[in-house]
């Protein structure tokens, strides 16, 4: 049984992983949450798509420096461990495995199940399809990383088709009479009070970019290819997002988009008719499938790293690789946990939980770029963030705004969800201590 990850992923697989993990559910489904928050008006929603894109690009530009300087399997948890120490690194990995990855996979699977059942015309199939897609993709990801990288590349190509068709024919067949940039919000809606919630909703659509770092150990040239994949992928995604959101509004007003859990499918049906709309919905489902695959490709690598480090109870189970050279046990565990989350059936709740959890640690990563510059000026940096320290400061400020707003100013429900995320994250500390005792006992027995 091989215990060494195979270096067979190149720039194409990494780039397609970034694009594939970012363009998934959010761009097709989040306009509903956005225009519900704005009271059915487009202005602030469109501004928020741009602002979230800018925050994400500054985040990508910043985090790419750390990714290139510390190209180790495990991604963000490894970066934070190198900068802040072992315990915070373990806490990062625990948060990703216990909250971020399963909540994100579950949210995407919930939407996949909902849309598939509507397409078939039988809503009794929502739960079986939701759980089935998680199971299927988990099994696929127990195969070699080369196989799953190929699946990711194919899914990324396929998912661009509905985007391109909606953009082109949306502008051709849409009447263009709907407002795009004004009014900002509907009557009785406070611009200041909802901007944070808008950003947390839209940042889900932009998320996924940093997780390509988790497969750095399986890339042929991570120092060179990783920054290219993150930055090139994000720039492409931001342009696509802004254009397609204008295309949505070209066809349907914001007040109507707020009424559909899949606004993209509603727009496609207006453009192409019922049959064409179903074909576009099929393309969207392929997109979501690819997105789930991307997360279930990278998530087990984090759990595998925790197992290898003996940082989590049961590390003997999570640490080994299977005959295909991939963390098969860790993949199954992440699939099961995602399925449990998916039973909630709550797309927006799951995405809000995952975004609050991950952005708390993104901010630590951005701060880490500045700390590394000060502590290790001679560290090999194949890529350096441009306009330093302006870009990192913008990323830090944007991230802090999102996290603090969600915790304190986004309403009681969001505050409780966020506090729950904090508690689950902190549980990682006693679990780490337990794992250390287990490891010491195992070492003493071996001696």
Q: What is the pLDDT of residue 13?
A: 80
Q: Where are the alpha helices (DSSP H) in 174-221?
A: 191-206
Confidence of residue 94 (pLDDT cuts 50, 70, 90): very high
Going by CATH, does the domain composed of 11-438 fall within 1.10.10.10?
A: no
Q: What is the pLDDT of residue 145?
A: 64
Query: Do residues 350 and 104 make contact, with C-beta atoms less than 8 angstroms apart?
Result: yes
pLDDT at 220 over 60: yes
User: What is the per-residue pLDDT across 222-233, written as a single tens digit (0 to 9) for each?
Assistant: 777 877 888 888
pLDDT at 409 over 80: no
pLDDT at 213 over 70: no
- The mean per-residue pLDDT over the stretch 124-132 comes to 95
Q: What is the pLDDT of residue 160?
A: 81
- The mean per-residue pLDDT over the stretch 322-327 comes to 81
Q: What is the pLDDT of residue 71?
A: 74
- The mean per-residue pLDDT over the stretch 90-113 comes to 94
Question: What single string gives the DSSP state of each residue in 280-310?
Answer: HHHHHHHHHHHHHHHHHHHHHHHHHHHHHTT
> By percentage, how much of the chain surpasses pLDDT 90?
43
- The mean per-residue pLDDT over the stretch 305-329 comes to 83
> By percentage, how much of the chain surpasses pLDDT 70?
94
pLDDT at 216 over 70: no
pLDDT at 154 over 50: yes
Confidence of residue 211 (pLDDT cuts 50, 70, 90): low
pLDDT at 48 over 60: yes
Distance separating alpha carbons of residues 136 and 119, to the nearest angstrom: 19
Confidence of residue 235 (pLDDT cuts 50, 70, 90): confident
CA atoms within 13 A of residue 342's CA, in its CB half-sphere: 30
- The mean per-residue pLDDT over the stretch 184-195 comes to 87
CA atoms within 13 A of residue 252's CA, in its CB half-sphere: 25
Q: What is the pLDDT of residue 2?
A: 42
Question: Could you identify the residue written with the tokens 């940039």?
Answer: 181
Q: Where are the alpha helices (DSSP H) in 207-262?
A: 222-251, 254-257
Distance separating alpha carbons of residues 67 and 298, to the nearest angstrom: 15
Q: What is the pLDDT of residue 227?
A: 78
- The mean per-residue pLDDT over the stretch 302-310 comes to 86
pLDDT at 25 over 80: no
Mean pLDDT in the chain? Answer: 87
pTM beyond 0.95: no
pLDDT at 1 over 60: no
Confidence of residue 214 (pLDDT cuts 50, 70, 90): low
* C-alpha separations of 260 from 40, 270, 283, 316 in Å: 12, 13, 18, 46
- The mean per-residue pLDDT over the stretch 10-21 comes to 77
């Amino acid at each position: 049984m091989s215990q060494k990850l195979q270096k067979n992923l190149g720039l194409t697989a990494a780039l397609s992983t970034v694009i594939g993990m970012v363009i998934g559910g959010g761009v097709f489904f989040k306009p509903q949450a956005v225009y519900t928050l704005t009271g059915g008006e487009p202005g602030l929603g469109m501004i928020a798509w741009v602002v979230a894109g800018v925050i994400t690009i500054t985040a990508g530009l910043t985090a790419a420096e750390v990714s290139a300087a510390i190209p180790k399997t495990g991604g963000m948890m490894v970066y934070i461990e190198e900068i802040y120490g072992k315990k915070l690194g373990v806490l990062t990995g625990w948060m990703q495995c216990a909250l971020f990855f399963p909540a994100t996979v579950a949210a995407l699977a919930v939407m996949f199940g909902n849309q598939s059942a509507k397409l078939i015309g039988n809503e009794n199939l929502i739960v079986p399809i939701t759980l089935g897609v998680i199971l299927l993709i988990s099994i696929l990801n127990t195969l070699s990383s080369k196989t799953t990288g190929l699946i990711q590349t194919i899914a990324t190509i396929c998912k661009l088709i509905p985007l391109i068709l909606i953009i082109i024919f949306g502008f051709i067949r849409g009447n263009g009479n709907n407002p795009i940039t004004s009014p900002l919000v509907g009557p009785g809606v406070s611009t200041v009070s909802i901007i944070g919630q808008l950003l947390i909703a839209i940042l889900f659509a932009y998320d996924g970019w940093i997780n390509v770092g988790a497969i750095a150990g399986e890339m042929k040239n991570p120092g060179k290819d990783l920054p290219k994949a993150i930055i090139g992928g994000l720039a492409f995604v931001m342009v696509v997002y802004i254009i397609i959101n204008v295309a949505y509004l070209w066809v349907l007003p914001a007040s109507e988009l707020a009424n559909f859990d899949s606004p993209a499918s509603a727009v496609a049906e207006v453009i192409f008719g019922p049959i064409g709309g179903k074909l576009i919905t099929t393309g969207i489902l392929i997109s979501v499938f690819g997105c789930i695959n991307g997360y279930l490709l990278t998530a087990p690598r984090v759990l595998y790293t925790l197992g290898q480090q003996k940082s989590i109870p049961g590390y003997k189970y999570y640490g080994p690789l299977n005959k295909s050279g991939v963390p098969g046990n860790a993949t199954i565990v992440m699939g099961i946990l995602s399925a449990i989350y998916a039973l909630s059936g709550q797309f927006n709740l799951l995405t809000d939980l995952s975004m609050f959890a991950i952005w708390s640690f993104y901010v630590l990563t951005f701060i880490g770029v500045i700390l590394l510059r000060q502590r290790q000026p001679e560290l090999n940096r194949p890529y350096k963030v441009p306009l330093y320290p302006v870009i990192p400061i913008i990323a830090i400020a944007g991230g802090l705004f999102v996290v603090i707003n969600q915790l304190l100013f986004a309403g009681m429900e969001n505050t409780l969800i966020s506090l729950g995320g904090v508690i689950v994250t902190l549980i990682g500390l006693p679990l780490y201590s337990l794992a250390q005792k287990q490891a010491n006992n195992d070492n003493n027995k071996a001696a």
